[in-house]
């Protein structure tokens, strides 16, 4: 069985947590496509050209240490705005989505560009303030010396860059189910996602 779940949304909205939980619930494979861009961004920070880094990317790069740092996140957002880089990574993502056994992909253009025919599409969002608080707590918990105002400014800047880029901007697919996690617990958000997927034609067995 091949069943693709496309989950999009801005940074720190909870789409990664929801995607992993949904994949586990249905026994699907999961791909955090943001890691592709983070891995490319890390290579760029190390001195490679963006397109060269995208073509040289291998699966093992997604397990590299340091991909969750603010510096790599910023580099990832910058390279993700480059059409040639996005094009270079499309085949990798589509091949993953078509795998037997079902797949969950989360990112920013999965339902609109990578898998526009996915039977289940979700757009996970939350207020900028809520997302900044989550990211601030995560960064501080990992020892990063940042202020909440700095994190909020970074979230807003990244939202602007992701939503205004010319190629594959961050927008909800017309047929996506929107889940606003601002006032939801993780359990509530996951339950909403599972319910939305089960409502689709050709849905996976629960």
Which residues sit in the known binding site for ATP? 9-17
Angle in degrees, CA 115, 178, 62, rounded to 5: 50
* Annotated binding-site positions: 9-17
> Residue 147 and residue 156: Cα distance in Å, rounded?
14
CB atoms within 10 A of CB 101: 12
> Residue 111 and residue 119: Cα distance in Å, rounded?
9
> Residue 61 and residue 63: Cα distance in Å, rounded?
5
CB atoms within 10 A of CB 82: 17
């Amino acid at each position: 069985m091949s069943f693709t779940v496309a989950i999009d949304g801005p940074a720190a909205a909870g789409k990664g947590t929801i995607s992993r939980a949904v994949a586990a619930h249905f026994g699907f494979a999961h791909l955090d496509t943001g890691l592709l861009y983070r891995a490319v961004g890390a290579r760029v920070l190390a001195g490679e050209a963006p397109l060269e880094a995208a073509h040289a990317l291998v699966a093992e790069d997604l397990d590299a240490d340091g991909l969750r740092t603010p510096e790599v996140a910023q580099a990832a957002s910058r390279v993700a705005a480059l059409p040639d880089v996005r094009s270079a990574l499309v085949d990798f993502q589509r091949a993953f989505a078509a795998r037997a056994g079902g797949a969950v992909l989360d990112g920013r253009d999965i339902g609109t560009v990578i898998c526009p025919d996915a039977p289940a599409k979700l757009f996970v969002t939350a207020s900028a303030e809520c997302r900044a608080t989550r990211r601030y707590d995560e960064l501080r918990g990992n020892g990063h010396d940042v202020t909440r105002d700095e994190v909020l400014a970074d979230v807003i800047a990244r939202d602007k860059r992701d939503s205004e880029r010319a190629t594959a901007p961050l927008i909800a697919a017309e047929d996506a189910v929107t889940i606003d996690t601002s006032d939801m617990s993780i359990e509530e958000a996951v339950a909403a996602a599972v319910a939305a997927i089960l409502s689709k034609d050709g849905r996976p067995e629960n």
